[in-house]
Structure 1
Amino acid sequence: MARPLEFDREEAIASAIKVFARHGFEAASTSDLLKGIGIGRQSLYGAFGDKRGLFLEALRQYNAGSLVQMHEALTKGTPAASIEVALLVGLGSSDDVESGCLGVGSIVEFSRSDPEINALNDVASTILVKAFAARVRAGMEARELDEGLDPDAAGRMLVMLRSGLKVAARGGASGSELRDAARLALRSLARSR
């Protein structure tokens, strides 16, 4: 009979997200993970199989949480205002490297070499593009954004911008610099007056 888990699985994954955000997958040692999560080696392997299994669960949980955060941001205010909020929410910073984006970090580290990681990131990206595109459409209907926009192309551009903003935040860009970049992008979508 298998022994029951002696730790909270969700808390362990949340702690692993911080370790992986700080170090990346490859550089995160088993010792780093054990210390960061506060569990023993047997518990790690018994619960997650191996470091890769833990990483996949961490990425899955990180992406799900990020999508919830983005959905909430996209419901605040007018379409353009909500897009700005969504671009700037949860970017992380260079002062707290454990707040870095696990999704962007995994893309940088693995490129397109890992099908399982690709699948997790592709699903999250597709959902996010659709969410941004829906707000762009709403902005077009409200005559707040240019009626000639391709909402899907604009949604993809906004997801790419958000990824770039996350990298810039991790690289030390200030809040005002990040906000200026987001507002400049929004001006490119705005309806000519």
Structure 2
Amino acid sequence: MARPREFDRDAALKAATDVFWSKGFAATSTEDLVQAMGIGRQSFYNAFGDKRRLYLEALEAYQRNATSCHIGRLTTPTSPLDGLRDLLVGLIPDDDALRCRGCLGNGSVGEFGITDPELMEMRERMIAGFRAKVIERLREGQRLGQIDPEIDIEQAASFIEITMSGLQLAARGGAGAQELHALAAFAVERFRAR
């Protein structure tokens, strides 16, 4: 009896994430995945269950990492406005190949919308903590006199989330880094106290 081949599960998951990120769920075949992951079909099924289970695991890991990076960029600068700018600009890789991939999370919204309760629950869970940090930073900016005191904080947080999605969608559609940086700066300036 042949012994199953050992493989690095984390590396395999990263390879699968890259495939889903590039192609989306529907356009990714099991063959695409096993080729990219460098494992056999039986190892694939034993380790990850099926394509959907793998997609959910890959998407959750991606979103957890992305959310952590977003919060880091938002909260590191002393100035709340700088934090908002860093948050948006940080979504825009200079590398054309990476930038045109957009966002795996936004890709899942594009593919599934509100039709998949499990994906919706994951999305809402990931967004809740991030949104709280955005609101906290916006309120801090108002207290410091950097952000317009007349701005509705809840609407401003929604605007930031939509701007993030828009930048990533535009990147996936081929927008250049310079154009996206200008749009990010324009969005942040809407918050500045006059």
Aligned residue number for residue 44 of structure 1: 44
For 2:17 and 2:100, how far apart are their aligned partners in 1?
Answer: 8
User: Can you list the C-alpha shifts for 1:69-109, whole angstroms capped at 9, x where unaligned?
Assistant: 11110123210111111112144565237843110000000
Aligned residue number for residue 84 of structure 2: 83
For 2:6 and 2:136, how far apart are their aligned partners in 1?
Answer: 43
Aligned residue number for residue 123 of structure 1: 125
TM-score, L = length of structure 1: 0.91
Aligned residue number for residue 186 of structure 2: 184
Written as runs of structure 1 = structure 2, the 5 A alignment for 1:1-193 is 6-77=6-77, 78-91=79-92, 95-96=97-98, 99-192=101-194
For 2:51 and 2:23, how far apart are their aligned partners in 1?
Answer: 13
Structure 1 residues 16 and 104: alpha-carbon distance in aligned structure 2, compared to 1, 3 A threshold: same
Deviates more, 1:148-157 or 1:159-168: 148-157
What is the RMSD computed on CA atoms of the aligned residues?
Answer: 1.9
User: Can you list the C-alpha shifts for 1:133-160, whole angstroms capped at 9, x where unaligned?
Assistant: 1111111111000112222221111011
Query: 5+ residue gaps in structure 1?
Result: none
For 2:117 and 2:50, how far apart are their aligned partners in 1?
Answer: 17
User: Percent identity of the aligned residues?
Assistant: 37
Say how many residue pairs are matched: 190
- 8 Å Cα contact 1:13/1:61 also seen in 2: no
For 2:104 and 2:135, how far apart are their aligned partners in 1?
Answer: 23
Structure 1 residues 136 and 5: alpha-carbon distance in aligned structure 2, compared to 1, 3 A threshold: farther
TM-score, L = length of structure 2: 0.91
- 8 Å Cα contact 1:19/1:33 also seen in 2: yes
Q: Letter of the aligned partner of 1:22 in structure 2?
A: S
Runs of 4+ in 1 over 6 A off after TM superposition: none
User: Can you list the C-alpha shifts for 1:7-48, whole angstroms capped at 9, x where unaligned?
Assistant: 222222111111001110011011110111111111111111
Query: 5+ residue gaps in structure 2?
Result: none
For 1:43 and 1:125, how far apart are their aligned partners in 2?
Answer: 33
For 2:128 and 2:159, how far apart are their aligned partners in 1?
Answer: 12
